[in-house]
Chain A
């Protein structure tokens, strides 16, 4: 039963692709059908999360493996869901359902957009549930086309450049993953974790280090983390930010590679080079905070905020401590809700022309409160679960990585003081659609973002609901891999 729930949740959007292609439904009917499909998907992952939370499913995850497929494919046709991937899938579904209301105009008039979203979603959930690097790479490759379509459908004058640059980096990431799959993971024969060392007069050649480097670069390209942030940057330059909502979850791909496959393939190299990479990402964190400080554009702000979050996650991962991993995983879940929420709030500000006076703010209380929640959450205020993620990552550095801690201690106040500029609803610096300020917005659309904002605040009050099982999962993952 539980296997079917996860498979239905993952693959049911395929029906939507077929319906879009056949043209059975149009406009409003198609939109409603799409919403129904996503609600079914959401419900499936909700059941999955509930199962993990209640202890019905084992903490190590549920494995789905078909004997027939294994006979053909080998042991790589493993589909595995654990608490973290189920949570990420649930948050993505929630974001998609909200985006349905906000982007209604676009979705009702563009079957291609709906189909691309559905295709991307299938690949995304498939990647979340992949138990082997081979399967993951296949789903990553499958996600490239819908991603290019979503960017290509944009009405921006520079969309060709956007597609080209995004494609280059994403395809490079795919190629690097293929190299890892073919050279280092030996498809069909399981994983080898001890790589040969050639010793010569002057140096030791360690192909394991090479494979580790390739995998890390692939994950950075997929996650769009500085300095490989080109493709991610383009997501926020799309003319219609509505299409960016799903694409802004791209970093999850990269961090899945980091958390799930890097320790599996290269545990020795991870332990050896982890501290060095931690320092690198502490520097990236500081650079991102400075860039956030220096930017004036609304789109650049959300991009650099995401970069800061991603840098924190990388720092937590490479700390190789359960506290750091717990914090990083918390931030991974947090950013899957907070970044889209911020983007959605920006969309509303763009539509209504922003707030210029106190009267306009008082007239649009729902939007004002949602704006405050989204900004404060991303700034690490203790109103949401992100605060605990930041705290655990920084805490993991205390005593273990003092130099890294200094970078974080400098970056955090810089980041927060830069964020003060947008605390009082000044999320503009984006071209606005409306001439007047504080124009009326559709109540349905506004209320659609309220559940995400309320959920973030609720988790901030009772973080143990999510963080409790996540902590067990992180600890189990680390102890199972022999990392302290």
Chain B
């Protein structure tokens, strides 16, 4: 257990130590560099931890006191389901570092901020104390504020101000609500995530947090702007962190409110359906490749609300599948939006993308839809019909995407600003690896859950 704790501690602190490594050590722009070793080491630690925890069937904890006399301990927990998500996130952050180095814009400032975002992402998933979770959310809001401002050039200053302000305010409000929720709901239980008191204020706060964490197209216009305008590495990091937040909030449901009233679940379902429908309709109306493909993350995150809406006493597995799948999927679609299909490797990538997106049996999309679908059938005719309509809409959207991006001769004029045009071949190979990885990890997570 001590070894596991040491490994966990190394895993948690490594990005914060990497901030101090001079960025000049990672000068090789076109391939894996020295700085990428940090992410690779973290991935190795996670795999070793997974093996150790898998054998023992336990979890590993780390704790520390922030302030004496108050239940504001810093408590971290790592178990296998969390490791599954974190593995997916680490591969995405590794890719984000790589993409930022290929872009090269302001790399000496972007690198440390990206490491901070990476570190806070893992701490968020592992945190077991509401005040610590809220603090991490606020901190990461600050990190993304500066990441966005430093990654966009001066000629688009107004846009970077708008997006950064929205991101910071969102994470700040989430952090503030988390702390307030913790104090009111879990004040008697040392501010740790536990069974909630069931008060209306507490439930409403949690519902508000979950709704805010999902960038529904209805109110989160900033998300579409972010996917369209941010450099790919930063957009990927942002989506990964958003998935971490959504996963954290959605999975609290089973602990805090297992007996959630049906009315609230129905509200989640309705919001999720509306958000998904808006995302897909936005896809049909989008003009650029990035905008078309960028509607998918918003769609899948809306399905998190749908999943909570069809849950019983614990959230359905599709929430895990979505949160593990979306970061990798975002990376793949961002690359696909800049790809010019020339070589055999590119064609293999496109084929893999189509298989993933269309939801062939065994793919994460198939697992997500089958999970939600089976619960919808159990809930009755109306749920089944709505689900069927959604699936059909998704299928039509896929046809539209394939036609617009890969078959339409005018698609070349739809290119938006991208820094991946000159990405090396190994990049495509890595993306292919990510496709296989995400299929494997979702099946592994499904087996655990």
Interface residues of A (CB under 8 A from B): 323, 357-358, 362, 372, 376, 381-383, 387-388, 391-392, 395, 398, 409, 412-413, 416-417, 420, 423-424, 462-464, 467-468, 471
B385-414, CB under 8 A of A: which get 1 and which 0? 000000000000000000000000000000
A23 to B251 CA separation, bound complex (whole angstroms) = 72
Which of B76-84, B169-177, B271-279, B359-367 sits within the interface? Answer: B169-177
Tell me, yes or no, whether B187 is within 8 Å of chain A by CB.
Answer: yes
Indicate if the CB atoms of B65 and A464 lie closer than 8 Å. Answer: yes
From B108, B138, B164, B165, give the contact of A382 (CB < 8 A).
B138
C-alpha gap A362/B173 in the complex (Å): 30
Q: Which residues of A contact B139 (CB under 8 A)?
A: 381-383
Question: In the complex, A395→B187 CA distance in Å?
Answer: 10
Give the residue name and chain of the B residue nearest to A409 (CB): B180
Q: Are B142 and A388 in contact (CB under 8 A)?
A: no
B142 / chain A contacts, CB cutoff of 8 Å = 376, 381, 383, 423
* Interface: B382 (CB within 8 A): no
Q: Is the CB of A362 within 8 A of B138?
A: no
Interface assignment of B57: CB less than 8 Å from any CB of chain A: no
Q: Given contacts A358-B106, A471-B68, is CB(A420)–CB(B154) below 8 Å? A: no
Q: A362-B108, A382-B138, A391-B131 are in contact. Are A467 and B184 (CB under 8 A)?
A: no
- 249-292 of chain B: CB within 8 A of chain A: none
5 more contacts with CB within 8 A, not counting A358-B106, A463-B66, A468-B69, are A372-B146, A382-B136, A423-B142, A468-B68, A471-B68
Closest 3 CB pairs of A and B: A382-B135, A468-B68, A467-B67
Q: Does B441 contact A (CB under 8 A)?
A: no
Cβ contact within 8 Å between A423 and B106: no
Per-position binary interface string of chain B over residues 56-79, scored 1 when its CB falls under 8 Å from any chain A CB and 0 otherwise: 000000000111111010000000
Q: List 24 A-B contacts (CB under 8 A).
A: A357-B154, A358-B153, A358-B154, A362-B108, A372-B146, A376-B142, A381-B142, A382-B135, A382-B138, A388-B67, A395-B183, A398-B183, A413-B172, A413-B173, A420-B145, A420-B168, A423-B145, A424-B145, A424-B161, A424-B164, A462-B66, A467-B67, A468-B68, A471-B67
Residues of chain A within 8 A (CB-CB) of B234 are none
Nearest-Cβ distance from residue B222 to partner chain A, whole angstroms: 14
Residues of A within 8 A of B68 (CB): 464, 467-468, 471
Given the contacts A362-B108, A362-B109, A464-B68, A413 and B183 also touching, CB distance less than 8 Å: no
CA distance A413 to B179 in the complex (A): 13
Closest to A388 in B: B67
Task: Please report the C-alpha to C-alpha distance between residue A382 and residue B153 in the assembled complex, in whole angstroms.
Answer: 29
Main secondary structure of the interface of A (DSSP, over half): helix
In contact, A463 and B154 (Cβ under 8 angstroms): no
B427, CB-defined interface residue at 8 Å = no
A467 to B106: give the CA distance in the assembly, Å.
Answer: 39
Is B69 within 8 A of A358, CB to CB?
A: no
| A471 near B176: Cβ-Cβ < 8 Å | no
Query: Counting chain A CB atoms within 10 Å of each CB, which of B67, B146, B149, B176 scores highest?
Result: B67
Q: Quick check: is B437 within 8 A (CB to CB) of the other chain? A: no
B193 within 8 A of A: no
B positions within 8 Å CB-CB of A: 65-70, 72, 106, 108-109, 131, 135-136, 138-139, 142, 145-146, 149-150, 153-154, 161, 164-165, 168-169, 172-173, 176, 179-180, 183-184, 187
- CB-CB under 8 A from B69, the residues of chain A are 468, 471
CB-CB under 8 A from A388, the residues of chain B are: 66-67, 72
Which secondary structure characterizes the binding site on chain B?
helix
Check A398–B184 contact: CB distance below 8 A. Answer: yes
How many Å from the CB of A261 to the closest CB on chain B? 26
Task: Please determine whether B67 and A381 come into contact, CB atoms closer than 8 angstroms.
Answer: no
Partner of B67, one of A376, A412, A424, A468: A468
Most chain A CB within a 10 A radius of its CB, from B70, B145, B168, B179: B70
CB of A387 within 8 A of CB of B146, answer no
Nearest CB in chain B: distance from A419 CB, A: 10
For the complex, what is the distance from the CA of A383 to the CA of B165, rounded to whole Å? 19
Alpha-carbon separation in the docked complex, A358 to B138 (Å): 24
Q: Which residues of A contact B72 (CB under 8 A)?
A: 388
Determine how close the nearest CB of chain B comes to the CB of A53; give it in whole angstroms: 13
CA distance A38 to B362 in the complex (A): 72
Interchain CB contact under 8 A, B67 and A464: yes
Judging by beta carbons under 8 Å apart, are B138 and A381 in contact? yes
C-alpha spacing A416/B165, complex, angstroms: 11
Contacts of A464 in B (CB 8 A): 65-68
In the complex with contacts A382-B138, A423-B145, A467-B68, A412-B176 CB distance below 8 A: yes
- Give Cα A142 to B145, complex, Å: 47
Residue of A with least CB distance to B179 = A391
Chain A residues, Cβ within 8 Å of B136? 382
Taken together as a complex, chains A and B put the C-alpha atoms of A388 and B69 apart, in Å, by: 13
Docked pose: A7 CA to B65 CA in angstroms: 36
Residues in A whose Cβ lies below 8 Å from that of B135: 382, 387
Q: Using Cβ atoms and an 8 Å threshold, which residues of chain A touch B153?
A: 358
- With both chains docked as a complex, state the minimum distance between the C-beta of A371 and any C-beta of chain B, in angstroms: 12
Q: How far is the CA of A423 from the CA of B144 in the complex (A)?
A: 12
Give the residues in chain A near B109, CB-CB below 8 Å: 362
A464 to B69, CA, bound (A): 10
- How many angstroms between the C-alpha atoms of A395 and B69 in the bound complex? 14
Residues of A within 8 Å of B161, CB to CB, are 424
Residues of A within 8 A of B146 (CB): 372, 424
Q: Which residue of B lies closest to A368 (CB)?
A: B109
Give, as a whole number of angstroms, the nearest-CB distance from A398 to chain B. Answer: 6
Which of B150, B165, B176, B183 meets A420, CB within 8 Å? B165
Give Cα A416 to B141, complex, Å. 12
Please measure, in the bound complex, the distance between the C-alpha atom of A26 and the C-alpha atom of B153, giving whole angstroms.
50
Q: Tell me which of A362, A413, A424 contacts B149 (CB under 8 A).
A: A424
Rounded to whole Å, the gap between the CB of A262 and the closest CB of chain B is 24
Q: Is A398 in contact with B131, judged by CB distance below 8 angstroms?
A: no
Complex Cα distance A450/B145, Å?
23
Chain A residues with Cβ under 8 A from B65's Cβ?
464
List of B residues within 8 angstroms of A376 by Cβ:
142
For the complex formed, measure the closest distance between the CB of A334 and the CB atoms of chain B, giving whole angstroms: 14
A424 CB to nearest chain B CB (Å)? 5
A114 to chain B, nearest CB (A): 39
* B67 engages A417 (CB within 8 Å): no
Q: In the complex, what's the smallest C-beta–C-beta distance from A76 to chain B, in angstroms?
A: 34
Q: Once the chains bind, are A417 and B183 in contact (CB under 8 Å)? A: no
B212, chain A: closest CB distance, angstroms: 13
Contacts of A381 in B (CB 8 A): 138-139, 142
CB distance from A302 to the nearest CB of B (A): 20
Residue of B nearest to A468 (CB): B68
